[in-house]
């Protein structure tokens, strides 16, 4: 029978292939071997696919574009695996049928030779699976607040037609501030993006003092062009930018141009090299567009009554109680003159106001603006914006607004705090620093709600519309004698009587005003606030007797001071409460010790190398910022301990070699509430160092890792703690950080190195059986927990009382990495309470078997992590199941594991 079968095969093979029967016969002889090899090759191909797929997912998460050959490879691999699995499945059903065995064996051999082997070789050649792409900016996404007004349709149509007209290269929209020019051109940009009219769309804002380097950098970043050499001059940057944009199809929107901008110096292609590029600009002055060679310039006017009313209603919160107020809302809206920024500001100021008297007052103010303070073409418009300032509820809010107008856009609220806290503006003379910060947060939020301030790049920053700022500067000057770089040197600065009334001076962008006034014309006996920034390499130096002319000074802020010594007249500032010399070259600060009323001292990013004995005299000091003073090595003994009223201390990224005695001094600061500190050697920690509870902190012990990890939010960042575990530190002793929100724990070996260096850290030789977190170690406010290299065999005590299991209910992020003794992550009692968990990441844990452990004697309970949106399980060779016997469904279809081996 077998012989007959073989002869039958040989006959058929011979009839098809002639003289190569010997080779074909091998398919039958090597049947079992072929399928054994096929299974091995399929496993190799499956593993290769997993490896490539991980790289693909990482690239997608980084918003990169996957290469087409990689996509095709993955598709081909899937197809080949399906074919191979069909052959393997057919193998078991063939039995002893020789012809079928021959055909299957041949198919398997050809599949390996023609498909699997080439695919495996191709995978090895993949040096990269993706390439970077230009990410769509937030403004290019839909804007729900945009209203398409009929009066703007012609402008929109004309701009749109110009964008498609090959003869037009530059075009512009002009009109007064506050009309919504930026909003309009961004909406056109969105439409152009949706219609794929351009390959790339770039938006860049220009200020009244254009910074060519900043403009070049913004455009380059948005076009993924890197200026590699920090020493490149303007012409080199311009040349690169020109080459990047030459003969392309790019829409460049240049917003808020105040003066003629030389595009060639920036690096914008000339008419001859423009290709299909287009430039769309906005300005308040049509002359600027004409001087720049713009051939299509479109004016933009105010809204008509119907449009204005629609906008007014939207900004006032929808339904306005017209039955109670009769025609007052419409009358107020009409008096806003169709200027969008005025409409928005006034509508929000009157939001929820139901008393007719409030609306009547607003109407009277709008109808009869004061003629004495604002002059020129924009008199009425500025006065209407100033009305929203008048409507602020109290002097505290008004003064905060006026100081905020001296800040640059995108200033953080934390930096703004330094400017305002020493001026006695915030209500409550005896406010603690933490209370003052909370108060300022509230005031900034109120100003944003009133449309006088806006968010910066984030909600933790503040910005101000140009028109609003112009009004604020005028109000500040006329009502409060505030001088800025906008004031005319000859007419206002050199008016002795006016200068003697001056209360505040703000000079940015390395203004030369002081140099022009000193020494004969600067006399400011009522000055309380002086703020100035300089650029690197500036020749400006503070004269020795500079402070003799400002005896009432309370706040002195000078960024990037170049001189190494402070002038001797500084000690005359007996009323000074805030001194900020951030980014300065100052080295000797002993004279500061004479400023007995000083409450805030910031020397961050400065060049000091010692904190001298004299600073111990600052017994009223509340805030001391020494962050990033990388040359600071010495803090003289008994200086810190004398700062008995210190509430905030920031002393990270310095070169201080901490000693037990010096850290003991920190324990004596009974008022301390905020602390940023990094201690590289955890062996110098005094006993009970963390016994006092802090309200805000960012502390690293045993090595600073914060800057290596990103992604924490504001809430987490308010209380962050990182600790290198060793035998001298017990978590039970950390009573003061029980309110921690972001906790990172690690256990290093004695080998030098870090998580991301070239040295692989070894685990401890023993495993600690005591759970890391037990009933004596509970962090009830914890939002993020990150554990790396810990030597404990358990994280949580699975005998936690029920009420303690819920202590971790606020946890939103959990990361476990390189914990080689952990067999399971969560006891089910803990897992059930993690209803807010959003980010779960577990990797490189050698013996991990379960994510959630079923507790002995406990009934199986269905549960889920309903809020998880990010899940990463990587390199867990012993993982058996997510939770034995239970189906776990993670939201967003990230993973479903049902008692399966991973």
746: β partners: 724, 788
Tell me what the mean pLDDT of segment 757-769 comes to.
Answer: 39
What pLDDT, on the 0 to 100 scale, is given for residue 124? 86
Q: pLDDT of 249-262, one tens digit each?
A: 999 999 988 888 89
**Residue 504 in this model has a pLDDT that exceeds 90:** yes
Q: What percentage of the chain exceeds 90 in pLDDT?
A: 25
Question: Which pLDDT band holds residue 891 (cuts at 50, 70, 90)?
Answer: very low
What pLDDT, on the 0 to 100 scale, is given for residue 18? 45
Q: pLDDT of 449-467, one tens digit each?
A: 777 888 888 889 998 877 7
Q: What percentage of the chain exceeds 70 in pLDDT?
A: 83
Mean pLDDT across the chain: 81
Q: Give the count of beta carbons closer than 10 Å to the beta carbon of residue 429.
A: 6
| Spatial contact of 741 and 781, defined as CB atoms under 8 Å apart | yes
Cα separation, 1 vs 405, in Å, equals 101
Question: Which pLDDT band holds residue 534 (cuts at 50, 70, 90)?
Answer: confident
Tokens representing 135? 């990410």
Find all residues with CB under 8 Å of 570, minimum gap 6, and list them. 547, 591, 592, 594, 595
List C-alpha distances in Å: 120 to 2, 55, 625, 626. 38, 16, 57, 56
**Residue 413 in this model has a pLDDT that exceeds 90:** yes
Tokens representing 650? 């920031």
Pick from 44-58, 710-724, 853-867: least confident: 853-867
What pLDDT, on the 0 to 100 scale, is given for residue 17? 47
| Spatial contact of 720 and 741, defined as CB atoms under 8 Å apart | yes
Cα separation, 833 vs 826, in Å, equals 11
Cα separation, 27 vs 22, in Å, equals 10
Find all residues with CB under 8 Å of 3, minimum gap 6, and list them. none
> Which ranges constitute the DSSP H helices of 134-179?
150-164
Pick from 450-464, 802-816, 818-832: least confident: 802-816
What pLDDT, on the 0 to 100 scale, is given for residue 680? 84
Closest CA to 392 of 461, 472, 503, 312: 472
What pLDDT, on the 0 to 100 scale, is given for residue 371? 36
Q: pLDDT of 649-658, one tens digit each?
A: 999 888 888 8
Closest CA to 202 of 260, 273, 272, 279: 279
What pLDDT, on the 0 to 100 scale, is given for residue 716? 67
**Residue 844 in this model has a pLDDT that exceeds 70:** yes
Tell me what the mean pLDDT of segment 831-846 comes to.
Answer: 90
| Spatial contact of 485 and 492, defined as CB atoms under 8 Å apart | no
**Residue 893 in this model has a pLDDT that exceeds 70:** no
Tokens representing 455? 């968010």
What pLDDT, on the 0 to 100 scale, is given for residue 12? 52
- According to DSSP, residue 486 is labeled T
What pLDDT, on the 0 to 100 scale, is given for residue 591? 92
**Residue 437 in this model has a pLDDT that exceeds 80:** yes
Question: Which pLDDT band holds residue 890 (cuts at 50, 70, 90)?
Answer: very low
To 5 degrees, how large is the angle CA 401–CA 405–CA 407? 120
Question: Which pLDDT band holds residue 862 (cuts at 50, 70, 90)?
Answer: low
Which one has a higher pLDDT value, 135 or 865? Answer: 865
Cα separation, 611 vs 5, in Å, equals 97
What pLDDT, on the 0 to 100 scale, is given for residue 761? 32
Q: pLDDT of 148-200, one tens digit each?
A: 788 888 899 999 999 999 999 999 998 877 788 888 999 999 999 999 999 99
What pLDDT, on the 0 to 100 scale, is given for residue 239? 92
Find all residues with CB under 8 Å of 536, minimum gap 6, and list them. 560, 562
To 5 degrees, how large is the angle CA 85–CA 87–CA 90? 110
What pLDDT, on the 0 to 100 scale, is given for residue 729? 62
Could you identify the residue written with the tokens 């219609």? 195
- Walk across the sheet containing 296-299 and list its strands: 200-205, 250-257, 278-283, 170-174, 296-299
Tell me what the mean pLDDT of segment 777-799 comes to.
Answer: 83
To 5 degrees, how large is the angle CA 728–CA 733–CA 736? 130
Which one has a higher pLDDT value, 732 or 3? Answer: 732
**Residue 899 in this model has a pLDDT that exceeds 90:** no
Which value, in Å, is the radius of gyration of the alpha carbons in the chain? Answer: 35
With residue 414 as reference, give the H or E element that holds it. helix 413-420
Tokens representing 181? 């020019």
């Amino acid at each position: 029978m077998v012989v007959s079968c073989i002869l039958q095969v040989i006959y058929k093979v011979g009839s098809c292939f002639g003289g190569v029967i010997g080779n074909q016969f091998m398919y039958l002889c090597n049947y079992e071997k072929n399928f054994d090899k096929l299974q091995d090759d399929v496993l190799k191909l499956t593993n290769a696919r997993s490896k490539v797929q991980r790289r693909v997912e990482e690239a997608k998460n980084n918003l990169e574009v996957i290469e087409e050959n990689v996509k095709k490879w993955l598709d081909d691999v899937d197809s080949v695996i399906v074919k191979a699995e069909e052959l393997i499945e057919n193998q078991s059903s063939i039995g002893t049928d020789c012809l079928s065995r021959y055909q299957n064996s041949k198919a398997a051999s050809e599949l390996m030779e023609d498909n699997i082997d080439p695919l495996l070789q191709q995978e090895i050649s993949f040096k990269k699976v993706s390439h970077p792409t230009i990410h769509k900016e937030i403004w290019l996404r839909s804007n729900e607040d945009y209203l398409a007004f009929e009066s703007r349709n012609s402008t929109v149509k004309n701009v749109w037609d110009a964008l498609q007209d090959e003869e037009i290269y530059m075009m512009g929209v002009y009109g007064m501030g506050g009309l919504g020019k930026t909003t309009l051109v961004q909406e056109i940009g969105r439409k152009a993006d949706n219609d794929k009219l351009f390959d790339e769309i770039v938006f860049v804002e220009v200020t009244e003092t254009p910074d060519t380097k900043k403009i070049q950098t913004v455009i380059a970043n948005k076009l993924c062009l890197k200026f590699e050499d920090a020493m490149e001059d303007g012409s080199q940057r311009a040349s690169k930018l020109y080459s990047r944009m030459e003969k392309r199809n790019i829409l460049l929107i240049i917003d808020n141009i105040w003066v003629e901008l030389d595009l060639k110096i920036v690096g914008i292609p000339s008419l001859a090299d423009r290709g299909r590029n287009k430039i769309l600009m906005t300005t308040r002055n049509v002359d600027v567009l004409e001087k720049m060679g713009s051939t299509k310039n479109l004016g933009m006017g105010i809204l008509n009554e119907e449009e204005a009313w629609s906008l007014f209603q939207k900004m006032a919160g929808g339904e306005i109680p017209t039955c109670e107020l009769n025609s007052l809302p419409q009358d107020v809206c009409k008096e806003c003159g169709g200027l969008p920024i005025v409409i928005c500001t006034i509508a929000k100021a009157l939001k929820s106001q139901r008393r007719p008297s409030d609306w009547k007052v607003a109407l009277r103010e709008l109808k009869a603006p004061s003629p004495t303070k604002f002059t020129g073409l924009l008199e009425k418009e500025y006065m209407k914006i100033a009305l929203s300032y008048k409507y602020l509820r109290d002097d505290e809010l008004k003064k905060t607004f006026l100081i905020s107008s001296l800040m640059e856009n995108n200033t953080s609220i934390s930096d703004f705090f330094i400017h305002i806290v020493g001026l006695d503006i915030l209500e409550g003379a005896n406010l603690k620093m933490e209370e003052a910060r909370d108060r300022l947060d509230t005031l900034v939020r109120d100003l944003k709600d009133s449309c006088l301030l806006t968010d910066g790049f984030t909600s933790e920053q503040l910005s101000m519309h140009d028109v609003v700022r112009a009004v604020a500067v005028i109000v500040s000057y006329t009502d409060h004698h505030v001088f800025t770089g906008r004031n005319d040197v000859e007419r206002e600065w050199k008016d002795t009587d006016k200068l003697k009334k001056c209360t505040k001076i703000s000079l940015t962008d390395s203004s030369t005003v002081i140099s022009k006034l000193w020494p004969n014309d600067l006399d400011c006996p009522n000055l309380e606030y002086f703020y100035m920034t300089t650029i690197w390499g500036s020749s400006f130096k503070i004269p020795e007797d500079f402070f003799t002319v400002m005896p009432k000074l309370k706040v002195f802020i000078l960024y990037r001071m170049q001189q190494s010594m402070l002038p001797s007249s500084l000690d005359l500032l007996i009323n000074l409460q805030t001194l900020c010399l951030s980014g300065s070259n100052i080295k000797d600060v002993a004279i500061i010790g004479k400023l007995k009323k000083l409450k805030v001292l910031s020397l961050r990013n400065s060049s000091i190398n010692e904190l001298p004995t004299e600073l111990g005299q600052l017994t009223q000091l509340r805030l001391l910022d020494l962050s990033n003073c990388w040359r600071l090595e010495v803090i003289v003994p008994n200086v810190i301990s004398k700062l008995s009223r210190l509430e905030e201390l920031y002393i990270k990224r310095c070169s201080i070699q901490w000693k037990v005695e010096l850290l003991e001094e920190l324990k004596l600061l009974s008022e301390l509430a905020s602390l940023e500190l990094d201690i590289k050697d955890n062996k110098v920690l005094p006993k009970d160092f963390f016994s006092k509870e802090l309200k805000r902190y960012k502390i690293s012990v045993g090595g600073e890792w914060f800057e290596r990890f990103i992604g924490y939010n504001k809430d987490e960042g308010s209380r962050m703690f990182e600790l290198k575990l060793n035998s001298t530190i017990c978590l039970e002793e950390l009573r003061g950080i029980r309110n921690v929100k972001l906790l990172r724990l690690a256990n290093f070996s004695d080998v030098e190195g870090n998580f991301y260096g070239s040295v692989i850290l070894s685990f401890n030789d023993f495993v600690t059986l005591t759970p890391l977190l037990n009933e004596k170690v509970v962090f009830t406010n914890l939002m993020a927990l990150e554990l790396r290299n810990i030597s404990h065999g358990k994280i949580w005590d699975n005998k936690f009382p029920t009420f303690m299991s819920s202590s971790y209910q606020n946890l939103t992020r959990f990361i476990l990495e390189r914990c080689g003794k952990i067999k399971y992550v969560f006891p089910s009692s803990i897992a059930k309470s993690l209803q807010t968990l959003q980010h779960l990441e577990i990797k490189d844990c050698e013996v991990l078997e379960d994510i959630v452990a079923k507790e002995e004697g406990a009934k199986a309970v269905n549960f889920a992590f309903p809020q998880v949106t990010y899940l990463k399980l990587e390199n867990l060779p012993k993982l058996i199941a997510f939770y034995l016997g239970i189906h776990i469904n993670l939201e967003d279809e990230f993973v479903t594991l049902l008692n399966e081996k991973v």
